[in-house]
Amino acid sequence: MFHIVILFCFYVVLGHTLPLENTGPSDVRIINGENATLGQFPWQVGLYLGFDDTVWFCGGSIISENWILTAAHCLDRSEIAYVYVGTVDLLLVPEMMISTDLILHEEYNASTLANDIGVIKLSIGLGFNDIIAPITLSSEPIEDGAEVTVSGFGLTSDADDAETSQFLNYVTVTTIPNSECAEIYGDSILENMVCTSAGSDPVKGACLGDSGSPAVLNVDTDPLQVAIASFIGGTGCEEGNPSGFTRIAPYRDWIQEKTGV
């Protein structure tokens, strides 16, 4: 049985310098995924969060002009969020918002990752266009065997020197029954979680830094966010174990209460 690891990346910084270096065009992927094109995922955001001199990176999704959806563990202990929108390259960001209004689910449990969901309120509303737009949230349970697309700026390998990606990447993966996921992770798999298969040859999935990013059904036709990236197996992203997500549908009432969406 494997333990689970949350998907954000920590950085310790001096001042507020963000840990980015322009590496130029890249072929690296989320984990064996593809590079996104501008406007392909207009709901995707990159999040730098933290307190004092500690910063970590997560993803999230735009759900309205004033609200970002993400994982609770991304917001836990954070005092501020820098929200990057409208980009597939973190060095070419047309708009960046700052928020200190970070809301975790009241029953979030950092030990079990139960209720791993949270929202960020923007004091100034976003203007929507071809590259900045909200995602529709699912109110229906996601079925086993569904193909979902996960996007994010997270690590693209388990290498010791791996860093979060400068570029937005995405991969399409398949949901599996919770019972199958529990064969790997045991009692860690809760009812309001969903897992995706990593497949094989090559392994595909989310990695560190993809926490809070959306899993989307029907991405090319009628996009519908069904889950939020939450955790991977403790042995790494490339070992072929399932990735874990928070289901959206069980939290629609909570999201509505907090955001009006």
What's the pLDDT tens digit per position in 50-100? Answer: 888 888 889 999 999 999 999 999 999 999 999 999 999 988 888 899 999
pLDDT at 118 over 70: yes
CB 45 within 8 A of CB 60: yes
pTM given for the model = 0.87
Lookup: tokens for 90: 């973190």
What pLDDT does residue 144 have? 97
Confidence of residue 49 (pLDDT cuts 50, 70, 90): very high
Closest by CA position to 81, among listed 111, 105, 48: 48
Q: How far is CA 53 from the centre of its chain?
A: 23
Question: For this structure, is 73 an active site residue?
Answer: yes
The one catalytic residue among 116, 138, 197, 230? 116
Q: How many CB atoms lie within 10 A of CB 240?
A: 18
Work out the number of other CB atoms within 10 angstroms of the CB of residue 213.
Answer: 35
Question: pLDDT tens-digit profile of 163-196?
Answer: 557 889 998 999 999 999 999 889 999 999 999 9
Dihedral angle computed from the Cα positions of residues 223, 228, 233 and 239, in that order, rounded to the nearest 10 degrees: 20
Q: Which two tokens stand for residue 132?
A: 């900045």
**Is the pLDDT reported for residue 11 higher than 80?**
no
For 107-136, letters b (16+ CB in 10 Å) and e give ebeeeebbbbbbbbbbeeebeeeebbbbbe
**Could you write out the DSSP letters of every residue in the chain?**
---EEE--EEEE-STT--------S----SSS-EEPPTTSSTTEEEEEEEETTEEEEEEEEEEETTEEEE-HHHHTT--EEEEEES-SBTTS-SEEEEE-EEEE-TT-BTTTTBT--EEEE-SSPPPP-SSS---EEP-SPPPTT-EEEEEES--SS--TT----SB-EEEEEEEE-HHHHHHHHGGG--TTEEEEE--SSS-----TT-TT-EEEESTTTS-EEEEEEEEEETT-TTS-PPEEEEESGGGHHHHHHHH--
Question: What structural domains does the chain harbor?
Answer: 8-15+40-134+251-259 (2.40.10.10), 136-249 (2.40.10.10)
Cα separation, 164 vs 178, whole angstroms? 29
- In the set 211, 213, 230, 243, the catalytic residue is 211
Is residue 102 within 8 A of residue 91, CB to CB? The reply is: no
What lies within 8 Å, CB to CB, of 210 at 6+ separation is 7, 30, 58, 59, 150, 152, 153, 154, 155, 229
pLDDT in tens, 89-113: 988 888 899 999 999 999 999 999 9
Query: Residue 200 above 70 pLDDT?
Result: no
From 73, 197, 213, 243, active-site residue: 73
> What's residue 63's pLDDT?
99
Q: State the pLDDT at residue 15.
A: 28
